[in-house]
């Protein structure tokens, strides 16, 4: 089986099995060899030592017997020789026993032949020995000595020599056997060392193999993981085998691909508008920031006309489809290197690199033509258009946020003028630092109750009584004194903060009106609503709640709406006005004549009152054109059932002319200036 095709667990099992097998073999062989050597050594030492001992013992007893014989040769007393005979016989018997035992231990032919020689010499010596003993008793010690010296002594010497030779030979053989045992031991040690080294080498080979087959792929996996962690999603991932490391590498590849796909989606979400597929504001800012220093060009912001009305009438699904179609048209119209982005809602922006004012005008015409043809969705024909605000860089600004903000200001100016486009240079600059500071302080002013309500009387020319009053907001700043509403109201409307101021104003004015009624003062206060207020879906319910809480009839207040407030979203504005009218609240069109409201609006709006702008009321007694406009407006309003209020009259001549012309009410300095609540309550006398 190929090791590379095996799983890691199998590799480890095989590798360690081989290693353990080798180690077991080393241990087994070592034990077997050393046990055998120990037994052989013990046997050899025992046998050889015994042989040497018996040889020496035979020699010793032989010499002892010879000594006894010499003593016999020197002893003349019979009784003393009897004792020596016994000792001599014992020594000879012991020598014979030792020789017999030695013979039992000898196995080799050489040892047997040597033993036979020893026995022959022993027999010869015994014969001589017996002859000598016999001569002692028969012929006396002197004769026996002669015989001893003549033959017995030589036989004894030969016997002792042979015995010593045998002992020496056995001792030599024992040394030789011990040498062989040492050599065998050395061989066994070498074998054990060889086996141990083989096991170590095998272990090293296995370790190298495991390192190569596991550690290296794991290291590659670590490198891939580190590359992924550093954001390098192009790092190649090794294929790997069918083992766990291969599974790890394949999992890393899947993880890398998944992360890559998610990052692509994240980047797409970060830089692309989901609805239209166009680049978004973030991408626009990034592209603009990457332009070379000193670049010139133009930025245009487009706001789609009547989109809110379409969205509300047909639903958000149609609205989203409409935006996609518009985005597609714009993208096809604006070619590279220029850029089309969707900022938010129904606003689009365009980056025109290198464009000057003339080229920007050509671009405006191209956009107008692109939006000229209607868009048909589900059989519904939708005519769309838009207003463009244009800035030139670096003249109008050097950073994208500033340029976009100024382009939006120009676009809003174009909408107010009902124009297709406007350049930033034609509509003025940003608010001053003082104005921005005031905007930042408005929220604190509301919390600290620095806003106060002034009232300006509206004099009824028919009854010669003050029956109405307009509530006007003032700001009593603790350090800057009284701040003119013209300095903060427009910016409150631009920033949307007016939505927080208006509820405060409504609550106070409705509270004042309810108190007046309880005190017998029949005065209807008027409150101004901005475009933000009029489009607020919760405003009608809020006003109804205030009326119910204070116990005030709805027709005891009047809401004034400027013509411009009706222009941003006429359908939604009309819807809320109808709701107020159904509630019973009186409605008034403020500054009539200064905006773009048509006579058709007067016919369709559920209003009760119309206020003629002061621009026509001033000098009405001396200016025929102003007089004609005011006189015709009074007649028209009366025919439509509307009350007419002349705003801004300052002289008695203007008052007399308006009374004579049938104007219903008058508001202006000729009657009274706006005044605080306490002063207004003290003001009673008619003119």
Give me the chain's average pLDDT, please.
80
Contact at 8 Å (CB) between 455 and 680?
A: yes
- What sign has the CA pseudo-torsion 24, 27, 33, 36? negative
Cα(467)–Cα(513) distance, integer angstroms: 12
Q: Average pLDDT, stretch 515-527?
A: 93
What the chain holds in terms of domains, given with CATH numbers, is 3-213 (1.20.120.1730), 281-426 (3.30.70.270), 433-682 (3.20.20.450)
Q: State pLDDT tens for residues 668-677.
A: 999 999 999 9
Judged against a pLDDT cut of 90, whether residue 373 lies above it is answered with: no
For residue 389, give the H/E element and its range: strand 386-393
The span from the first CA to the last CA of the chain, in angstroms, equals 118
pTM of this prediction?
0.47
Per-residue pLDDT at 40: 61
Per-residue pLDDT at 233: 61
Per-residue pLDDT at 211: 65
Q: State pLDDT tens for residues 570-628.
A: 778 888 999 999 999 999 998 776 554 556 667 778 999 999 988 889 889 899 999 99
The separation between CA 510 and the C-alpha centre of its own chain, rounded to angstroms, equals 54
Q: Average pLDDT, stretch 413-437?
A: 72
Cα(43)–Cα(509) distance, integer angstroms: 130
Contact at 8 Å (CB) between 510 and 490?
A: no
Burial class (CB in 10 A: 0-12, 13-18, 19+), 401: exposed
Give the SS3 label for residue 657.
Answer: helix
Contact at 8 Å (CB) between 596 and 418?
A: yes
Output DSSP code: residue 399: S
Contact at 8 Å (CB) between 487 and 438?
A: yes
Cα(675)–Cα(78) distance, integer angstroms: 180
Q: State pLDDT tens for residues 255-276.
A: 777 776 766 666 666 778 888 8
Cα(260)–Cα(264) distance, integer angstroms: 6
In degrees and rounded to multiples of 5, residue 397 shows phi and psi of 155, 160
Contact at 8 Å (CB) between 633 and 593?
A: yes
E strands present in 161-226: none
Judged against a pLDDT cut of 60, whether residue 368 lies above it is answered with: yes
Token digits of residue 513: 């009106």
Per-residue pLDDT at 264: 65
From the list 647, 355, 392, 663, the residue with the least C-alpha distance to 528 is 647
For residue 615, give the H/E element and its range: helix 614-617
Per-residue pLDDT at 615: 85
For residue 299, give the H/E element and its range: strand 297-304
Contact at 8 Å (CB) between 557 and 514?
A: no
Q: Average pLDDT, stretch 379-383?
A: 83
Cα(660)–Cα(651) distance, integer angstroms: 14
Q: Percentage of residues in the chain with pLDDT exceeding 90?
A: 31
Sequence-distant (≥ 6) Cβ neighbours of residue 407 within 8 angstroms: 299, 300, 301, 349, 389, 390, 391, 424
- Residue with the larger pLDDT of the pair 50 and 443: 443
Judged against a pLDDT cut of 60, whether residue 398 lies above it is answered with: yes
Write the secondary structure of 18-56 as one string of H (helix), E (strand) and C (coil). Answer: HHHHHHHHHHHHHHHHHHHHHHHHHHHHHHHHHHHHHHH
Region label for 643, one of left (φ > 0), alpha (ψ between -120 and 50) or beta (otherwise)? beta
């Amino acid at each position: 089986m190929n090791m590379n095709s095996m799983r890691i667990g199998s590799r480890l099992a095989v590798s360690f099995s081989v290693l353990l097998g080798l180690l077991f073999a080393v241990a087994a062989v070592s034990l077997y060899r050393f046990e055998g050597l120990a037994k052989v050594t013990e046997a050899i030492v025992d046998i050889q030592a015994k042989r040497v001992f018996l040889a020496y013992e035979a020699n010793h007893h032989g010499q002892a017997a010879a000594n006894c014989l010499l003593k016999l040769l020197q002893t003349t007393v019979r009784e003393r020789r009897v004792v020596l005979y016994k000792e001599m016989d014992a020594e000879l018997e012991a020598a014979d026993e030792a020789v017999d035992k030695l013979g039992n231990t000898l196995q080799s032919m050489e040892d047997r032949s040597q033993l036979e020689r020893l026995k022959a010499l022993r027999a010869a010596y015994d014969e001589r020995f017996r002859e000598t003993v016999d001569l002692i008793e028969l012929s006396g010690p002197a004769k026996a000595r002669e015989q001893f010296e003549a033959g017995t002594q030589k036989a004894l010497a030969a016997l002792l020599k042979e015995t010593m030779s045998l002992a020496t030979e056995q001792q030599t053989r024992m040394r030789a056997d011990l040498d062989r045992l040492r050599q065998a031991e050395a061989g066994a040690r070498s074998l054990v060392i060889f086996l141990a080294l083989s096991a170590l080498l095998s272990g090293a080979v296995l370790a190298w193999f495991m390192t190569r087959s596991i550690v290296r792929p794991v290291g590659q996996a670590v490198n891939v993981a580190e590359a992924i962690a550093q954001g390098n999603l192009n790092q190649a991932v090794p294929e790997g085998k069918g083992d766990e490391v291969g599974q790890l590498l394949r999992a890393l590849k899947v993880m890398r691909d998944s992360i890559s796909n998610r990052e692509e989606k994240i980047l797409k979400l970060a830089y692309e508008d989901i609805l239209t597929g166009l680049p978004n504001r973030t991408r626009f800012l990034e592209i603009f920031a990457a332009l070379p220093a000193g670049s010139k060009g133009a930025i245009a912001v487009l706001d789609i006309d009547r989109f809110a009305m379409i969205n509300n009438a047909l639903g958000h699904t149609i609205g989203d489809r409409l935006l996609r179609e518009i985005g597609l048209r714009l993208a096809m119209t604006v070619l590279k290197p220029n850029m089309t982005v969707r900022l938010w809602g129904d606003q689009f922006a365009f980056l025109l690199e290198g464009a000057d004012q003339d080229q920007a005008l050509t671009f405006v015409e191209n956009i107008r033509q692109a939006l000229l043809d209607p868009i048909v969705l589900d059989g519904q024909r939708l005519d769309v258009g838009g207003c463009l605000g244009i800035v030139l860089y670096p003249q109008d600004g050097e950073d994208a946020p500033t340029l976009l903000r100024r382009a939006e200001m120009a676009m809003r100016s174009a909408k107010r003028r009902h124009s297709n486009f406007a350049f930033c240079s034609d509509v003025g600059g940003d608010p001053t630092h003082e104005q921005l500071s005031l905007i930042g302080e408005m929220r604190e002013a509301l919390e600290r109750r620095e806003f106060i309500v002034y009232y300006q009387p509206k004099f009824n020319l028919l009854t010669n009584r003050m029956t109405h009053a307009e509530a006007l907001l003032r700001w009593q700043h603790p350090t800057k004194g009284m701040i003119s509403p013209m300095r903060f109201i427009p910016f409150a409307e631009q920033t949307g903060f007016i939505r927080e101021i208006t509820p405060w104003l409504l609550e106070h004015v409705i509270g004042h009106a309810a108190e007046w009624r309880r005190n017998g003062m029949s005065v209807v206060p008027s409150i101004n609503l901005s475009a933000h207020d009029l489009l607020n879906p919760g405003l009608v319910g809020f006003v109804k709640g205030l009326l119910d809480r204070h116990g005030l009839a709805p027709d005891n207040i009047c809401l004034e709406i400027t013509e411009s407030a009706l222009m941003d979203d006429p359908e939604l504005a009309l819807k809320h006005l109808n709701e107020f009218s159904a509630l019973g609240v009186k409605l008034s069109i403020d500054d009539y004549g200064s905006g773009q409201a048509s006579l058709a609006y007067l016919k369709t709006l559920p209003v009760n009152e119309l206020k003629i702008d002061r621009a026509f009321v001033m000098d009405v007694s001396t200016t025929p054109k102003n007089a004609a406009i005011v006189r015709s407006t009074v007649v028209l309003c009366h025919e439509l059932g509307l009350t007419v209020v002349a705003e801004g009259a300052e002289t008695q001549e203007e008052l007399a002319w308006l009374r004579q012309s049938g104007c219903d009410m008058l508001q202006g300095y000729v009657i009274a200036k706006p005044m605080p609540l306490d002063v207004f309550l003290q003001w009673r006398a008619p003119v």
